[in-house]
Structure 1
Amino acid sequence: MAEQDLQVPSSEPTRSAVKPAENEDKSPEALREAWHWLLHWWKDVVDEVDHIGVINKVQGESGLTARYVFMTCMSAGIAILGLLLSSPAVVIGAMLLSPLMSPIIGAGFALAIGDVRWLRECCWALAVGILVSIGFCALIVLASPLDTVTDEIAARTRPNLFDLGVAFFSALAGAYAMIKGREGTIVGVAIATALMPPLAVVGFGAATANGVVLGGSLLLFFTNLMTIALTAAIIARLYGFRSSLSSQQTLWQSILVVGVFLALAVPLAISLQRIAWEANAYRRANAVVADQFGDKARVSQLDLDFLSDPTRINATVLTPDLQPDVSERVQRLLVNELNQPFEVIINQYRVGVADSDVEAAELAAARLQAQNIEEDRRVSGLVTSMAMVAGVPPENVVVDRTAKRAMVKAKPLPGAGLGSYYVLEQRLAEMKPDWTVIIEPPATALPELELMKDDPLLPDKADYQLALWAIRRIDAPVAVSGDGLAGRALVKRLEDAGVTARYAGQGNATRGRLRLEWLAPDALADGD
């Protein structure tokens, strides 16, 4: 019995020690077998692809043709009209016509196999398509009475993580469809979704000489373009498309292809770095705000406005215990952690004081939160629109939320007179009827006022209203020249409207018209 008692414990450790050793030996072997099986399976998938046939098909569809140019123009025209009308349905209609997928996917395959001549042909077709789209959209904007920055236009002036995701998945779908022979309208729509709207906005920015719109949409377009081209090249390589399939392959051409690949990757990496920083800032802001409250609290809404300076954070928290000075604490923590200035606004709503009141309190807070979110969205959209119309950064727009008043001083835009700024202000005011929208135009030439035939002492009403609007916005004195009786009557009328004016004699005014000119404040003098 004693020997048995001693043998039992001595044998157990031996068995327990052997089992882990066997498991340790089998686990890597199982992983290797699984890896080899996966490689073998993928090799079978690649071997099923008709590489030469796919290359011939893609190459035949990615060149510059008359149909390609025509359909690009039609797609661009519909896209810019949809953006001007702020109609997503019309913008979607433009995607059904866009032929941009073919040269972009072709460029990706050319990169994969290292065919420089094919790559050059795709780039030429793409360059012509881009220039034609921009030019055609610019012509439509110039000919159209609609030139206001709509929400649809503003949404396509800054690349973000979601835009990058659309471009990435579009490229996956496009490359896969080409390889499997299932390309068609739907895949083309996916590619066009990432490219045609921002390209149309580039045309809008060029036509209106708006640098903010032009630069932002151009960055978004090239970020999406590079994402699609590089993703298509990588997918093509994974499916076995190699340099051995190209008869044009040389050492220098290989070096050139690698150089093009890197040239595309560098600006994309810069955009990705910015996007990654914004995503991290959002994640850290959410975590820091949540840490200031207990487990029973909930961050129901968190918005970051990266266009503002400093970056504005607006959060809504449902909590049973209100925290004093929490906005200042969160602001200090984020500034120290991210080395970036922030403006933090945290709206706290007390809920959960009694179990029976939780649902009612949360419902009331949710309604109020929805109202605040909608108001913030409207204000942010108004600020963005005013900044783009004025050609200035958004931080130059002065907003008084209490009085619901927004003001901006516009930069001179080529070809834009006072009437252009007046119309833009009116349209923005119509979009936000509960706000007072003020655009201060540059001090360009005031309109000559044509005297009415039935009453030669009164100027044309429309011209007078435009002149009065400009004088009030710029807040500078004016000199009136022309017919004596009509000129003095206009001076009196302007003074009654609160404008400083003086009569300057006949001057260079055309007969039957009154001429208005800006005066420096120290140029005022009594008398005629």
Structure 2
Amino acid sequence: MRVTTADVQRMTSALFISEGPSSRSRQATFWTLLILAAIIASAGVAADSTATVIGAMIVAPLMTPIVGTALAIVLNDHRNLTSSALLVVAGAAGVVATGYVVGLFVPIEIVAATNSQVAGRVTPQLIDLLAALATGAVGAFALVRADVSDALPGVAIAISLVPPLAVVGLTLESGAPNQALGALLLFATNVAAIIATGTIVFLLFQVRTAAGETERFVGPLRGASLVTVAAALLLVAVPLSTISQHVLRQNADKIAAAPVAQAWAEQESWTITGISFSGSVLRIEAIGPAPEADAATLRAALDEAGLADVDVDVTLVIGGTRRLPATG
């Protein structure tokens, strides 16, 4: 499991955008593709279109400097480490700004309550970190092995980089900073995972040894660098764990509330149409004939079921079926 000097030259040429005689042209291409991907992602999120968001994932070039950061860490290349890291930060800021501007042209608020693309990216959990670690490993493996480079489009789709940043900009413009923070955490999780797994894969394939056989300078591998990578993973894992516990608790509360709400609705001759959480408040929606069902009895039943500490919003919709006979 060792790469060749040719592999090292191929990887450094592909990942270190700011290096070489064509660096300006490559940086111009990077920024052009990134801004276009940001527009596509922002428009896709605003339209709640999964297909459009996937298109943005394939176009976006943001994974290149992220994996380049991992390679620079392994080679202890301070110049390319700095340039790659700055490119990631500047690129992320550019996508957020683009999402904010696109949000100015959308007449409605783009928030989790009304948009599934936003809802899927503002509450990252530990499972997202696990998926990001595996996806990052595949991406790094595809780079060290030219014969499996066909996997890179799949990696681009699997790892969520530009869409959560677009969500950050859109939700900030919509006045939802907490949701923006959640989407930013998802992006940070994916970046930390890619750098961590990329570092491990490059070390396993002895990239340092192969690079040492070229004219490229390879600095001594410092333990502080590896500790920093591990610390970054731990830093994102802590809030992810907290969010995961919160989501599990809410799912347990919904499961506990469902039979109670159903029994109450049947007693009142109503029908439960939805049970969900909005923030920390349990929302129960019911539809039925007049008069309105007695919500106080539902509160008492939920308290008996162990949900006394959960705030509940009950939406009662007076409905029913009416036949409108033909007039012609």
Question: What TM-score does the superposition give when structure 2 sets the normalisation length?
Answer: 0.70
Q: Which runs of 5+ in 2 are unaligned?
A: 20-25, 261-270, 293-314, 319-328
Which residue is equivalent to 2:185?
A: 219
Q: Is the counterpart of residue 141 in structure 1 residue 103 in structure 2?
A: yes
How big is the shift at 1:105? 1.0
**CA, structure 1 residues 59+155, in 2 after alignment: closer, same or farther (shift >3 Å)?**
closer
Q: Which runs of 5+ in 1 are unaligned?
A: 1-44, 279-303, 316-343, 349-370, 384-393, 406-432, 437-528
**CA, structure 1 residues 156+184, in 2 after alignment: closer, same or farther (shift >3 Å)?**
same
Which residue of the other structure, out of 58, 62, 73, is the alignment partner of 1:96?
A: 58
Cα root mean square deviation, aligned:
3.4
Question: What TM-score does the superposition give when structure 1 sets the normalisation length?
Answer: 0.45
Which residue of the other structure, out of 195, 199, 202, is the alignment partner of 1:229?
A: 195
**CA, structure 1 residues 148+261, in 2 after alignment: closer, same or farther (shift >3 Å)?**
closer
Show the 5 A alignment for 1:294-309: 305-306=247-248, 308=250
Show the 5 A alignment for 1:379-398: 379-380=276-277, 383=278, 394-395=279-280, 397=281
Q: Which structure has the higher relative contact order (CA within 8 Å, separation 6+)?
A: 2
Which residue is equivalent to 2:143?
A: 178
Which residue is equivalent to 2:219?
A: 249
**Cα-to-partner distance string for 1:12-32 (whole Å, 9 max, x where unaligned):** xxxxxxxxxxxxxxxxxxxxx
**Is the 1:49–1:179 Cα contact (8 Å) retained in structure 2?**
no
Show the 5 A alignment for 1:94-133: 94-133=56-95
Which residue is equivalent to 1:267?
A: 235
**CA, structure 1 residues 173+49, in 2 after alignment: closer, same or farther (shift >3 Å)?**
farther
How big is the shift at 1:135? 0.5
Q: Is the counterpart of residue 56 in structure 1 residue 12 in structure 2?
A: yes
- State the distance in 2 between where 1:108 and 1:183 align: 19
Which residue is equivalent to 1:163?
A: 128
What residue identity is the alignment partner of 2:274? E
SS in 2 for 1:375: strand
- State the distance in 2 between where 1:265 and 1:255 align: 16
Number of matched residues?
269
- State the distance in 2 between where 1:345 and 1:268 align: 32
Which residue is equivalent to 2:312?
A: none
Which residue is equivalent to 2:264?
A: none
How big is the shift at 1:197? 1.4
- State the distance in 1 between where 2:105 and 2:30 align: 24
Show the 5 A alignment for 1:471-482: none
How big is the shift at 1:163? 2.3
**Is the 1:134–1:203 Cα contact (8 Å) retained in structure 2?**
yes
Q: Is the counterpart of residue 345 in structure 1 residue 257 in structure 2?
A: yes
SS in 1 for 2:207: coil
Which residue is equivalent to 2:30?
A: 68
**CA, structure 1 residues 134+114, in 2 after alignment: closer, same or farther (shift >3 Å)?**
same
**Is the 1:156–1:198 Cα contact (8 Å) retained in structure 2?**
yes
Flag the structure with larger Rg.
1
Q: Is the counterpart of residue 401 in structure 1 residue 285 in structure 2?
A: yes
Q: Which moved more, 1:47-56 or 1:160-169?
A: 47-56
How big is the shift at 1:109? 1.1
- State the distance in 2 between where 1:146 and 1:272 align: 29
**CA, structure 1 residues 345+72, in 2 after alignment: closer, same or farther (shift >3 Å)?**
same
**CA, structure 1 residues 132+214, in 2 after alignment: closer, same or farther (shift >3 Å)?**
same
- State the distance in 2 between where 1:234 and 1:200 align: 29
**Is the 2:110–2:118 Cα contact (8 Å) retained in structure 1?**
no
Show the 5 A alignment for 1:364-379: 375-376=274-275, 379=276
How big is the shift at 1:176? 1.1
**Cα-to-partner distance string for 1:38-79 (whole Å, 9 max, x where unaligned):** xxxxxxx31657453244323444767011111111111111
**Is the 2:72–2:81 Cα contact (8 Å) retained in structure 1?**
yes
- State the distance in 2 between where 1:240 and 1:100 align: 25
What residue identity is the alignment partner of 1:111? I
**CA, structure 1 residues 153+307, in 2 after alignment: closer, same or farther (shift >3 Å)?**
farther
Which residue is equivalent to 2:324?
A: none
- State the distance in 1 between where 2:196 and 2:18 align: 16
- State the distance in 2 between where 1:273 and 1:224 align: 15
- State the distance in 2 between where 1:159 and 1:400 align: 24
